[in-house]
Amino acid sequence: MKLLYSMTGYAEVSVAVAGARSPLAVRLELRSVNSRFLDLMFRLPDELRACEASVRALLTQQLRRGKVECRINLDEAQSAQALPELHQIEPLLQAEAVLLQRAPHLRGLSVADVWRLSAAQQQQPHVDPAMLTQAMQRAAEAALIALQAARSAEGERLRSFLLDRCTQLQQWALAAEQVAPQAVARLQERFMTRWNEALQALGGSPDPEAVRDRLLQETTAFALRVDVAEEISRLQSHLDAIRKVLDEGGEVGKRLDFLIQELHREANTLGSKSAVLELSELAVHMKVCIEQMREQVQNLE
């Protein structure tokens, strides 16, 4: 039995970049929600634009449906700032001297200014593009595995939910089959009671042949109105098909969506033919349950 995948999931992975002057990591987030088709959206810094095509290809190979947002950031570890070195301070002081000669009204650099400017120079990352690409690829692969695990766990929960609803619908279908003959028997009893009451009021005696013919006409017409055997048979067939699709697993979302529409059609027909309260109530319960199934099926890949 293949796994079921929901289109809803989240994963976040951080991978260190080898060879960077200061500790640097690629942090990659994947957020997925339901969609009719596969829709990939990327948010990443300019330094990583060249890697977008490879990540897109990786996601396209593994994912079939869903709106997937891929966020990628470069995270630099925050550490205590070391004292500025002389070779970093000297160019700043020379530049300050030139500016003060041309514009004596300018304020000179303070110790805090020298510290901040030298720190900014130190924080400029010097990274080998090949190392950055490797870290990016590892992050994408790990994030995709984590996302698929999350989507699979949600898919298995949806499988269990849908199977439970199929069982409930089947129970209501069996109850509807039993309601129809019971309703016909109650009609026959009610008809005979009213027939006898009418004859007693008129003071006449019943004609057995006329009573039998009229009873047959009334019960036949009523039985046709409450006969839901065809609808129940088709509904059972759709439920069996849903169970088979769920057992097969894989990409089931679109097939299940079609079967849910067929279930809803049969429940509507059942409700429109209901001439007794019990059948109407069962039809309402079925439609509520089918609507719950339809909402959940929209999340399956």
Q: Are residues 205 and 104 in the same domain?
A: no
CA distances from 291 to 87, 235, 258, 288 (A): 72, 15, 13, 5
Q: Are residues 234 and 145 in the same domain?
A: no
Looking at residue 128, its pLDDT comes to 73
Q: Are residues 15 and 103 in the same domain?
A: no
Q: What percent of the chain has pLDDT over 90?
A: 38
In the block, tokens 């009418």 appear at 198
Q: Are residues 220 and 255 in the same domain?
A: yes
- Decide if 3 is inside a domain: no
> In angstroms, rounded to a whole number, what is the distance separating the alpha carbons of residues 189 and 126?
93
> In angstroms, rounded to a whole number, what is the distance separating the alpha carbons of residues 55 and 69?
12
Indicate if the pLDDT at residue 141 is higher than 50: yes
Helix (H, G, I), strand (E, B) or coil at 74: strand
- Decide if 231 is inside a domain: yes
> In angstroms, rounded to a whole number, what is the distance separating the alpha carbons of residues 66 and 62?
12
> Left if phi > 0, otherwise alpha if psi is -120 to 50, otherwise beta: which for 250?
left
Tally of domains within the chain? 3
Q: Are residues 149 and 162 in the same domain?
A: no
Q: Are residues 72 and 105 in the same domain?
A: no
Q: What is the mean pLDDT of residues 100-122?
A: 67
Indicate if the pLDDT at residue 40 is higher than 50: yes
Looking at residue 198, its pLDDT comes to 58
Q: Which helix (H) or strand (E) holds 209?
A: helix 208-226
Q: Are residues 149 and 51 in the same domain?
A: yes
- Decide if 2 is inside a domain: no
Q: Are residues 149 and 161 in the same domain?
A: no
Q: Are residues 270 and 281 in the same domain?
A: yes
- pLDDT tens digits, one per residue of 221-262: 555 555 677 778 889 999 999 999 999 888 898 899 999 999
Domain assignment of residue 98, given as a range = 86-122
Q: What is the mean pLDDT of residues 198-220?
A: 58
Looking at residue 80, its pLDDT comes to 46
Q: What are 56-63's contacts with CB under 8 Å, separation 24+?
A: 58/137, 58/140, 58/141, 58/144, 59/140, 59/144, 62/144, 62/148, 63/32, 63/38, 63/301
- pLDDT tens digits, one per residue of 83-103: 556 666 677 677 777 777 777
Which one of 105, 138, 154 terminates a domain? 154
Q: Are residues 146 and 34 in the same domain?
A: yes
Q: Are residues 184 and 256 in the same domain?
A: yes
